[in-house]
Amino acid sequence: MSRRVRVKPGKGQSMAGFFGGILFCGIGLFLAIPIFGPFGIIWTLFAVIITIMNGINAFSDKGVASHEILIEDEYRQDTFVSDKSVEERLKELQSLYDKGIITTEEFQEKRKQILEDI
Residues 8 and 56 in one domain: yes
Q: How much is the pLDDT for 80?
A: 47
Residue 80 lies in a domain: no
Residues 98 and 46 in one domain: no
Residue 19 lies in a domain: yes
Residue 81 lies in a domain: no
The pTM (predicted TM-score) of the whole model is 0.56
Residues 34 and 61 in one domain: yes
Residue 79 lies in a domain: no
Q: How much is the pLDDT for 107?
A: 92
Residue 78 lies in a domain: no
DSSP of the chain? -EEEEEE---HHHHHHHHHHHHHHHHHIIIIIHHHHTHHHHHHHHHHHHHHHHHHHHHH-SS---SEEEEEEPP--TTS---SS-HHHHHHHHHHHHHTTSS-HHHHHHHHHHHHHT-
- For 108, the domain range is 86-116
Residues of the chain falling short of pLDDT 50: 77-80
Q: How much is the pLDDT for 17?
A: 95
